[in-house]
């Protein structure tokens, strides 16, 4: 049955919780489909892309290394991740101030996966009306078949999602091989099922309830709103009083506004609200009602845009301001942070040193009035090339460094632990003192890093 | 029959229990995810516990991460649960009572 000709009446009443969003075509829905394909495409394809010998994007948790194309991040680079999260949060604020809940409608994983699950549902069970009819129908072979197919497809898709998720953390080609032979490790199996299960429940059943009851962003996003934020609104002045009318009749003379009260805007809404009641926190700004209303307006011969993206100022007929203190502050903050991030990630030190004191002995008194401390010095080479390092120490007069050889060789992306003995003439030294270890490359590329440690000596 | 304007599916509410479970489980899940990242960004799970006799949960890194995540989730969920309980069992705000006592106009 053609969606547009679905009976408007009768199909409306749904005294149950499940919302059956009606399918709608339009420019914003096309945009959302592109967004779904781009985002999910990225999600499902990225782990399969290779970069030289390894997976291009691999968060190798067992080895504690994150590979992102040519970049390898170590636990020491953790602050980059924090930095990224701050940029992401600011970007969210920025876009919210500018255009309202763009994130909710187009990019939120909850929306994107729900959309996919709704497509599957529609593909198996048919249009909104057919779905509701099927739900009301008594149990039959056909009902079991359709519902079963839907649940099976959902399940398979969710499982693939969980598999892909784990594929970001463990090499996906190996994981695929293990899945085929049913030999995945216990934690791999668990996380595939956990993430797959969460997708299944969130996108299949919870859907808009996640936005309504669980999402913190839905509650605080209004704090970023002002009179110039783009929101999805119903033009009340133009639409009211709403009402049905005969074709070709003069609605103005009959005292009616432009809203024909067809309720299609309510039927297409994935959160099941009535946009004509004003801005509501349940609205995820998917713009389905805009497309739906535009279609109806076109059909009845009224101008489009009874429901549209607009600002509070715009609705009141005042000038709109894209540039305003709020957006300028957010915008410049983001630019600064991104620039700083780009600079520091390209200029970060690719060698690092970690110094741990020997736990077994505080110090050793050697003949000749020397005090000795033993350290384990870990040299991290995050560079893509092999390097030879020398180790020096300073902070105390007469420090002698002994690590058995004159240079330590560390391969690319490797860590080398070296036992280092420090000796200091007893002299005036009492208790302890801070010292610094410095590692330096001995080849053409000059790299160095410093680590702090404590040198302990007798207190008397 | 044309539908009454107040009859749209989104007006329906989840049952209280469902809301409570969601309110406790979801924010604590988000917090636990962040806590896991931060914690294991700094601490290698293999270094937790005694070196010679590591607890079974920390013998492999993957197990360590998972146990850490669920530990954080549990702790955060307990906190959420207590907050929810306090909010749900709180006396009404004084502002609400002020309107009720009839001495002031409710605006």
Look at residue A69 in the predicted model and tell me its pLDDT.
85
Looking at residues A75-98, what average pLDDT do you find?
Answer: 87
pLDDT in tens, A225-234: 888 888 898 9
Q: Which of B10, B17, B26 to mutate to test the interface with A (most CBs of A within 10 A)?
A: B10
Q: What is the largest CA-CA distance in chain A?
A: 112
Looking at residues A433-442, what average pLDDT do you find?
Answer: 90
Kindly identify which residue of chain B lies nearest to residue A260, measuring between CA atoms.
B2
Is B59 among the domain residues?
yes
Q: How far is CA A235 from CA A258, A265, A290, A299, B43, in A?
A: 9, 13, 11, 18, 55
Q: Which of B9, B19, B27, B29 to mutate to test the interface with A (most CBs of A within 10 A)?
A: B9
ipTM of the complex: 0.74
- The H-or-E segment that residue B39 falls in is helix B16-42
Beta-carbon separation of B41 and A78 below 8 A: yes
**CA neighbor of A8 nearest in space, from A236, A266, A239:** A266
Is B95 among the domain residues?
no
Backbone angles phi, psi at A341, to 5 degrees: -65, -50
pLDDT in tens, A99-117: 888 888 899 999 999 999 9
**CA neighbor of A278 nearest in space, from A240, A224, A335:** A240
The band of A75, judged by pLDDT with boundaries at 50, 70 and 90, is confident
Is B35 among the domain residues?
yes
The band of B14, judged by pLDDT with boundaries at 50, 70 and 90, is low
Tokens read off for A149? 């197919």
Residue B12: list chain A partners with CB under 8 A. 16-17, 272
Q: Which residue has the higher pLDDT, A284 or A2?
A: A284
Residue A16: list chain B partners with CB under 8 A. 9, 12
Is B34 among the domain residues?
yes
Number of domains in chain B: 1
Segment 31-70 of chain A within 8 Å of chain B by CB: 61-62, 64
Is B94 among the domain residues?
no
Is B5 among the domain residues?
no
Looking at residues B25-34, what average pLDDT do you find?
Answer: 92
Nearest Cβ partner for B9 among A10, A188, A272: A272
Look at residue B62 in the predicted model and tell me its pLDDT.
84
**pLDDT over 70 (residue A194):** yes
The band of A9, judged by pLDDT with boundaries at 50, 70 and 90, is very low
* CA–CA dist A237, A308 (Å, integer): 13
Look at residue B11 in the predicted model and tell me its pLDDT.
54
Look at residue A8 in the predicted model and tell me its pLDDT.
37
Q: Is B101 helix (H, G, I), strand (E, B) or coil?
A: coil
* CA–CA dist A9, A263 (Å, integer): 9
* CATH for the stretch A351-456: 2.60.40.10
Kindly identify which residue of chain B lies nearest to residue A8, measuring between CA atoms.
B2
Segment 28-57 of chain B within 8 Å of chain A by CB: 30, 37-38, 41-42, 44
pLDDT in tens, A238-263: 888 888 887 777 777 778 888 988 88
The band of B69, judged by pLDDT with boundaries at 50, 70 and 90, is very high
Q: Any idea where the domains of chain A sit in the sequence?
A: 351-456
What burial class does residue A228 get, using C-beta atoms within 10 Å of its C-beta: 0-12 exposed, 13-18 middle, 19+ buried? buried
Look at residue A193 in the predicted model and tell me its pLDDT.
94
- The domain of B74 spans 29-87
Nearest Cβ partner for B62 among A62, A209, A216: A62
Q: Does A182 touch chain B (CB under 8 A)?
A: no
Looking at residues B13-42, what average pLDDT do you find?
Answer: 86
**CA neighbor of A337 nearest in space, from A92, A93, A72, A88:** A88
**Alpha-carbon A204 to chain mean position:** 20
Is B21 among the domain residues?
no
Nearest Cβ partner for B65 among A16, A61, A273: A61
* CA–CA dist A303, A314 (Å, integer): 17
């Amino acid at each position: 049955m053609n969606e547009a000709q679905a009976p408007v009446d009768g199909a409306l009443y749904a005294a149950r919780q499940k919302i059956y969003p009606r399918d709608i075509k339009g420019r914003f829905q096309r945009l959302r489909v592109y967004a779904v394909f781009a985002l999910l495409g990225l999600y499902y394809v990225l782990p399969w892309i290779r970069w030289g010998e390894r997976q291009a994007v691999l968060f190798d948790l067992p080895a504690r290394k994150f590979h992102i194309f040519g970049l390898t991040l170590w636990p020491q680079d953790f602050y980059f991740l924090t930095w990224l999260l701050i940029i992401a949060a600011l970007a969210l604020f920025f876009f919210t101030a500018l255009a309202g809940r763009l994130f909710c409608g187009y990019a939120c994983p909850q929306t994107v996966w729900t959309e996919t699950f709704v497509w599957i549902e529609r593909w198996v069970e048919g249009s909104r009306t057919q779905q509701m009819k099927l739900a009301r129908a008594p149990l039959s072979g056909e009902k079991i078949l359709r519902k079963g197919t839907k649940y099976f497809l959902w399940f398979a898709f969710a499982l693939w999602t969980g598999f892909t998720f784990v594929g970001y953390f463990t090499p996906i080609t190996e994981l695929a091989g293990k899945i085929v032979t049913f030999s995945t490790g216990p934690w791999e199996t668990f996380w595939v099922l956990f993430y797959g299960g969460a997708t299944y429940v969130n996108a299949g059943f919870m859907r808009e309830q996640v936005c309504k009851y669980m999402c913190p962003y839905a509650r605080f996003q209004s704090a970023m709103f002002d009179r110039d934020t783009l929101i999805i609104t119903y033009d009340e002045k133009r639409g009211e009083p709403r009402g049905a009318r005969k074709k070709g009749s003069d609605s103005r003379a009959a005292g009616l506004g432009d809203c024909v009260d067809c309720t299609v805007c309510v039927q297409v809404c994935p959160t099941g609200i009535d946009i004509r009641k004003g801005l509501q926190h349940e609205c995820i700004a998917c713009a389905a009602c805009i497309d739906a209303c535009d279609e109806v307006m076109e059909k009845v011969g009224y101008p489009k845009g009874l429901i549209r993206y607009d600002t509070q100022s715009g609705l009141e007929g005042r000038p709109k301001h894209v540039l305003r203190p709020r957006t300028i502050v957010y915008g410049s903050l983001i630019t600064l942070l991104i620039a700083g991030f780009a600079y520091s990630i390209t200029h970060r030190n690719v060698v690092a040193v970690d110094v741990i004191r020997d736990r077994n002995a505080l110090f050793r008194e050697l003949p000749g009035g020397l005090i000795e401390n033993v350290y384990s010095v870990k040299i991290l080479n995050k560079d893509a090339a092999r390097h030879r390092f020398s180790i020096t120490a300073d902070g105390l007069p007469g420090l002698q460094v002994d690590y058995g050889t004159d240079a330590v060789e560390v391969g690319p992306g490797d860590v080398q632990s070296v036992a280092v003995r420090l000796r200091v003439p007893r002299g005036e030294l009492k208790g302890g003192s801070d010292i610094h270890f410095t590692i330096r490359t001995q080849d053409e590329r000059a790299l160095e890093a410093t680590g702090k440690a404590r040198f302990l000596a007798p207190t008397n | 029959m044309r539908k009454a304007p107040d009859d749209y599916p989104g007006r329906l509410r989840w049952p209280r229990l469902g809301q409570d479970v969601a309110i406790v489980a979801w924010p604590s899940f988000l917090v636990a995810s962040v806590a896991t990242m931060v914690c294991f960004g700094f601490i290698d799970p293999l270094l937790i516990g005694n070196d010679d006799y590591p607890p079974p949960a920390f013998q492999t890194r993957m197990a360590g991460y998972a146990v850490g995540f669920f530990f954080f989730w549990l702790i955060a969920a307990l906190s959420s649960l207590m907050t929810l309980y306090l909010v749900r069992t709180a006396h009404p705000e004084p502002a609400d009572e002020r309107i009720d006592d009839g001495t002031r106009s409710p605006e």
